[in-house]
């Protein structure tokens, strides 16, 4: 191998931020976010709820009561932790797997189910809830978040936008364009990449030759960090730092969260074709719920009974909300036609005739 030419760009290896060890012990007290006991319990509540919702959603999918569904188990710390420190006015711009973030930022759960069932009301975000609908085109949402952040900056509002993609999404042109614009305009935006190791089936090793996704911030001239995405306290700390920077006019941050999806990419995917049992076992040791649960137990803030109680609550809530989704009036083609433009033009009015 040729040695490095002295004038070549040098980048150091990135260090991964963790606050808790997999055993739930504090390994980095300096990076511990300031949170009250009630807040710590609320974070655990949301993670346990999200896991139980995911379990239930898998069954609802099998029963045909949900449509397209992207499982989330394993990524709860990254998902719940990354929206927890945000203000209501901050904007959350998700990809297709990021339902938990928009629900915890205010989207009613039954609408998340309607979205999955292919009903337009699923995306009809209530007034005062600052989220966009999940994005299907990989990376497209990154530019929307950048534009929203540009809007915040022009209006001199101290809000931030956060957007999500995966390790696969970091290869898209829109990802690089978004980072670059955010750097050039110094925008209050957080690019949160959940690196779960696979873009459907393609492993990270085949995705890029970069040392990390966090390194890609260097080229764009924005802040970047890599964090343990299975450690909810590390996630919260990182987002707090990034959000504060954004609010202070110090620009954008790329956060790469190392995480793992326990389940398939979607209900149509088979993980045994591309992952080993050993690898799955390795990651299950790092489980975000177990780790944070142990930490809370050591502080006397959580018990196994609490977990059982929250699971029951989640189950009941999911049942209630899926029923509400099922009882929502069905879409019509005529109704669809009327949502194409503010005022339906004549040719579309005439096309209604076939559907009345």
- Under the rule (CB under 8 A), what is the footprint of other proteins? 91, 120-121, 123-125, 127, 132-133, 137, 140, 142-152, 154-155, 161, 173-174, 177-178, 180-181, 184, 336, 339-342, 345-348
Closest approach of other proteins to the CB of residue 183, in Å: 9
Q: How far apart are CA 151 and CA 155, in angstroms?
A: 6
Q: Which is nearer to other proteins, 110 or 152 (CB)?
A: 152
Q: Which is nearer to other proteins, 17 or 133 (CB)?
A: 133
Q: How far apart are CA 56 and CA 212, in angstroms?
A: 34
Closest approach of other proteins to the CB of residue 236, in Å: 25
Sorted by sequence, the CB contacts under 8 Å of residue 222 that are 6+ apart come out as 179, 182, 183, 251, 252, 253, 254
Q: Which is nearer to other proteins, 29 or 128 (CB)?
A: 128
Q: How far apart are CA 243 and CA 355, in angstroms?
A: 48
Q: Which is nearer to other proteins, 28 or 158 (CB)?
A: 158
Give the dihedral sign, CA 84/240/232/280: positive
Q: Report which of 133, 82, 79, 125 is spatially closest to residue 106, judged by C-alpha positions.
A: 125
Q: Which is nearer to other proteins, 65 or 144 (CB)?
A: 144
Q: In the beta sheet, which residues pair with residue 95?
A: 135
What percent of the chain is helix, strand and coil (3-state, nearest 5)? 50, 10, 40
The DSSP output letter for 155 is T
Q: How far apart are CA 282 and CA 212, in angstroms?
A: 20
End-to-end alpha carbon distance in the chain: 71
Helix, coil or strand: residue 308: helix
Closest approach of other proteins to the CB of residue 198, in Å: 24
- Is residue 215 within 8 A of residue 255, CB to CB? The reply is no
Closest approach of other proteins to the CB of residue 211, in Å: 25
Closest approach of other proteins to the CB of residue 79, in Å: 21
Q: How far apart are CA 164 and CA 196, in angstroms?
A: 12
Residues forming the active site:
261, 265, 274
Q: Which is nearer to other proteins, 19 or 107 (CB)?
A: 107
């Amino acid at each position: 191998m040729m040695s490095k030419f002295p004038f070549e760009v040098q980048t150091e290896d990135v260090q991964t931020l963790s606050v808790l060890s997999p055993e739930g012990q504090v390994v980095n007290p300096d990076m511990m976010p300031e949170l009250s006991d009630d807040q710590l319990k609320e974070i655990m509540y949301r993670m346990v709820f999200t896991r139980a919702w995911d379990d239930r959603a898998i069954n609802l999918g099998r029963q045909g009561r949900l449509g397209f569904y992207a499982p989330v188990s394993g990524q709860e710390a990254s998902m719940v932790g990354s929206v927890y420190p945000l203000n209501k006015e901050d904007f959350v711009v998700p990809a297709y797997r990021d339902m938990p973030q928009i629900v915890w930022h205010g989207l009613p759960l039954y609408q998340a189910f309607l979205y999955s069932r292919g009903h337009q009301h699923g995306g009809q975000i209530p007034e005062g809830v600052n989220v966009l609908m999940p994005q299907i085109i990989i990376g497209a949402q990154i530019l929307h978040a950048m534009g929203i952040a540009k809007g915040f900056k022009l209006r001199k509002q101290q809000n931030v936008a956060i957007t999500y993609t995966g390790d696969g999404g970091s290869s898209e042109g829109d990802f690089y364009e978004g980072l670059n614009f955010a750097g050039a305009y110094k925008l209050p935006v957080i690019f949160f990449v959940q690196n779960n190791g696979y873009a459907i089936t393609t492993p990270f090793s085949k995705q890029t030759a970069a040392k990390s996704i966090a390194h890609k911030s260097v080229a764009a001239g924005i802040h970047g960090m890599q964090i343990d995405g299975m450690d909810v306290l590390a996630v919260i700390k990182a987002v707090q730092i990034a959000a504060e920077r954004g609010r202070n006019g110090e620009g954008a941050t790329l956060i790469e969260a190392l995480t793992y999806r326990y389940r398939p990419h979607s209900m149509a995917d088979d993980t045994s074709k591309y992952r080993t049992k050993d690898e799955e076992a390795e990651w299950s040791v790092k489980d975000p719920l177990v780790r944070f649960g142990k930490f809370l137990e050591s502080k006397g803030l959580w018990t196994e009974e609490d977990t059982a109680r929250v699971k029951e609550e989640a189950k009941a809530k999911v049942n209630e909300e899926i029923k509400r989704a099922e009882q929502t009036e069905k879409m019509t083609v005529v109704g669809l036609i009327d949502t194409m433009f503010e005022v339906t033009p004549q040719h579309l009015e005439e096309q209604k005739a076939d559907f009345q």
